[in-house]
Chains A and B, each alone.
Chain A
Amino acid sequence: MLTVENIDVHRGKTHVLHQIDLHVGHGEIIALIGANGAGKTTTLKTISGLLRPTKGKILYTPEAGKAPIDISTMAPEQIVGAGISQCPEGRGVFAQLSVKENLLVGAYLRSDKEIEKDIQSVYEMFPILGERSTQAAGKLSGGQQMMLALGRSLMSQPKLLILDEPSLGLAPLIIETIFAMLQKINSQGVTILIVEQNAVMALDLSHRAYVLETGRVALSGLSSDLASNPQIQKSYLGVE
């Protein structure tokens, strides 16, 4: 579905990503883990068109069997329109807009009649959002804001959902709710690419994973293999 080929990304004068290669297959859940500053957010922003690679290609195949398109030079709104949606680091809810307005911004590029129905299905997913639909998003708790950010990124009906550290600062119970929801979203046919500090949960959720170190892919493989890799256990899973 998504093949990142050999991309280099600079932020200002810093060369942040070096020859990154990633592959995301249709229907997969792929985790991207790595230390702070490894370049995870940079990778995701580049895929969404918020940053431009200086080298390399990002090939996207919305449906299996179709010809891939290079999205590395496309504008963010074209990429969203093509079916890639990102739930950004730190959630980025629009604090002064109501819950419902946040969801409507998520559907900004759509003009079909199904929008109201999709809002209702987000409310079914997270009933608390339905109860608070007219409240300002800034007044929600961190966990509720995460649910809103997730719901909002689903409003564009993505084929590929990208999440940047959804567990950041959340209580374990809420993280579990969110991850269970991601599992469910995936089972409905949405491919997921997720960045996580919480490597245990990320490896548990995902099928395959990539480990990023200082802007390079250090390791990759099946999540279950990586979870039992001594080196990973030591660096990311806190197993001595």
Chain B
Amino acid sequence: MEMNRPRYSLAIMIISLTVFSFLIENMANDYILAIVCFTGINIVLAVSLNLTNGFTGLFSLGHPAFMAVGGYITALLTFPAEKKPLFLPDFPQWLDSFHLPFFPALLVGGCGAAFVAFLVGISVLRLKGHYLAVATMGFIIIIQVLLNNADTITRGPLGLNGLEDFTNTYWVSGWVIVTVYICWKIKFSSLGRSMLAVREDEMAANALGVNLFSTRSFALIVGAFFAGIAGGLWGHLITALTPGSFSLLMSFNIIVMVVVGGTGSITGSVLAAIIFTLTIECFRPLEENFGIYGVGEIVMALFLVLVLIFKPSGIFGTEEPDFVMGKHKP
């Protein structure tokens, strides 16, 4: 019974998300639906960044850049052919033949982001700590510059708009489940343990036969895959993509969720993503009515500082709490 606790937790999550999606999709207004979808996308982002930064201890800021890669790929693959002459008059013809439905396009977007992560990993994974942070920050800027300049495909700074609004709570819930499930499986596998070992003491892990480079690359690539998926969901939720959206600020927001929830705790990332998205949304009416912007961000930053002072390893640390995991610990 105790052994099966995580399985029950998963089943409860799947059932409640399905019921919740159904109810909300049929009853709520567009505003609420959008907030629910943003929350889900943030869960995907936070949990997957936790795999890279939390489990493996890499300090990557590159998540928005992987989102951008996945988002643009998905958008271009699903972009309606009849809108192309208007929005993208210079679109290269040979690319026209690549047209896919939403789900396969998302997968291609995720794989594209993962492939980019593989290339980035080769060059930057030799760096550590803040060097890696700075290098991945540079990577965000490179992606923004590329997107701004490849204007025959991306419309440059104008961005792609008029995307189909494919994203709904079913898609988002589905990807939340997949992300949580896969990251959970990884965490409690031999590979996941080796990732945590690399984070804790890389020299000892290396001496026990863990290959540091491939473990780190794997963490970056899997994290990037889900970031790419989240990018695709995001683009088809707000039906527009601009290079400027995938900024360092976004990176900061996701990192805050990971750090507050607990570096290494999947439950922590999920809860932190929910709390933060809702907090920011709660402050939005206030901001718009009184013209004071950024209050949500300030509250978030303050919360981060408090957590760092009183519980530096985040609310749940590396653990999964008993209510998900049961008392039985590996």
Please report A residues at the B interface, Cβ cutoff 8 Å.
Answer: 48, 50, 75-77, 80-81, 85-86, 88, 91-98, 100-101, 104-106, 108-109, 134, 149, 152-153, 156
Query: Cβ of A105 and Cβ of B206 under 8 Å apart?
Result: no
A-B pair number, CB within 8 angstroms: 75
Chain B residue numbers with a CB within 8 Å of A93 are: 201, 204
Query: Cβ of A94 and Cβ of B197 under 8 Å apart?
Result: yes
**Cα distance A134–B208 in the bound complex, in angstroms:** 21
Residue B289, interface by CB 8 Å: no
Interface residues of B in 297-330 (CB under 8 A from A): 317-318, 329-330
Query: Cβ of A76 and Cβ of B200 under 8 Å apart?
Result: no
A76 CB contact (under 8 Å) in B197, B201, B207? B207
A153 touching B208 in the complex, CB below 8 Å, given contacts A88-B203, A97-B197: yes
Chain B residue numbers with a CB within 8 Å of A106 are: 208
Residue of B201, B207, B318 with most partner-chain A CB within 10 A = B207
Chain A residue numbers with a CB within 8 Å of B211 are: 75-77
Query: Cβ of B329 and Cβ of A134 under 8 Å apart?
Result: yes
Q: A77-B209, A93-B201, A94-B196 are in contact. List 18 more A-B contacts (CB 8 A).
A: A48-B207, A50-B203, A77-B210, A80-B207, A80-B208, A85-B208, A86-B207, A88-B207, A91-B204, A92-B207, A97-B197, A101-B196, A101-B330, A105-B205, A108-B190, A108-B197, A109-B209, A156-B208
Query: Cβ of A76 and Cβ of B330 under 8 Å apart?
Result: no
Query: Cβ of B207 and Cβ of A105 under 8 Å apart?
Result: no
Query: Cβ of B210 and Cβ of A108 under 8 Å apart?
Result: yes
Query: Cβ of B209 and Cβ of A101 under 8 Å apart?
Result: no
Query: Cβ of B193 and Cβ of A105 under 8 Å apart?
Result: yes
27 A-B interface contacts by CB (under 8 A) = A75-B211, A76-B207, A76-B211, A77-B209, A77-B210, A80-B208, A85-B207, A86-B207, A92-B207, A94-B201, A94-B204, A96-B264, A96-B317, A96-B318, A97-B197, A100-B330, A101-B196, A105-B193, A105-B197, A108-B190, A108-B193, A108-B208, A108-B210, A109-B209, A134-B330, A153-B208, A156-B209
B192 to chain A, nearest CB (A): 10
Query: Cβ of A76 and Cβ of B193 under 8 Å apart?
Result: no
A96 touching B200 in the complex, CB below 8 Å, given contacts A77-B211, A108-B210: yes
Residue B144, interface by CB 8 Å: no
Residue B53, interface by CB 8 Å: no
Chain A residue numbers with a CB within 8 Å of B203 are: 50, 88, 92
Residue of B264, B318, B330 with most partner-chain A CB within 10 A = B330
Query: Cβ of B329 and Cβ of A92 under 8 Å apart?
Result: no
Residue B78, interface by CB 8 Å: no
Query: Cβ of B330 and Cβ of A98 under 8 Å apart?
Result: yes
**Cα distance A109–B194 in the bound complex, in angstroms:** 10
Query: Cβ of A97 and Cβ of B210 under 8 Å apart?
Result: no
A81 touching B193 in the complex, CB below 8 Å, given contacts A93-B204, A94-B201: no
**Cα distance A86–B193 in the bound complex, in angstroms:** 19
A97 touching B196 in the complex, CB below 8 Å, given contacts A50-B203, A88-B203: yes
Chain A residue numbers with a CB within 8 Å of B318 are: 96
Chain A residue numbers with a CB within 8 Å of B317 are: 96
CB nearest to B264 among chain A residues: A96
**Cα distance A138–B81 in the bound complex, in angstroms:** 59
B208 CB contact (under 8 Å) in A95, A100, A152? A152
**Cα distance A149–B206 in the bound complex, in angstroms:** 14
**Cα distance A105–B264 in the bound complex, in angstroms:** 17
B209 CB contact (under 8 Å) in A76, A94, A98, A134? A76
CB nearest to B200 among chain A residues: A94
**Cα distance A184–B278 in the bound complex, in angstroms:** 60
Chain A residue numbers with a CB within 8 Å of B201 are: 92-94
**Cα distance A109–B209 in the bound complex, in angstroms:** 7
Chain A residue numbers with a CB within 8 Å of B264 are: 96
Query: Cβ of B193 and Cβ of A101 under 8 Å apart?
Result: yes
Query: Cβ of B330 and Cβ of A105 under 8 Å apart?
Result: no
Residue of A85, A95, A97, A106 with most partner-chain B CB within 10 A = A97
A105 touching B208 in the complex, CB below 8 Å, given contacts A92-B201, A96-B200: yes
B205 to chain A, nearest CB (A): 7
A95 touching B200 in the complex, CB below 8 Å, given contacts A100-B330, A101-B330, A104-B193: yes
Chain A residue numbers with a CB within 8 Å of B210 are: 77, 105, 108
A92 touching B204 in the complex, CB below 8 Å, given contacts A101-B330, A105-B197: yes
B51 to chain A, nearest CB (A): 16
**Cα distance A85–B329 in the bound complex, in angstroms:** 28
B313 to chain A, nearest CB (A): 8
**Cα distance A95–B205 in the bound complex, in angstroms:** 12
Residue of B190, B196, B209, B317 with most partner-chain A CB within 10 A = B209
CB nearest to B204 among chain A residues: A92
**Cα distance A104–B189 in the bound complex, in angstroms:** 10
Residue of B203, B264, B317 with most partner-chain A CB within 10 A = B203
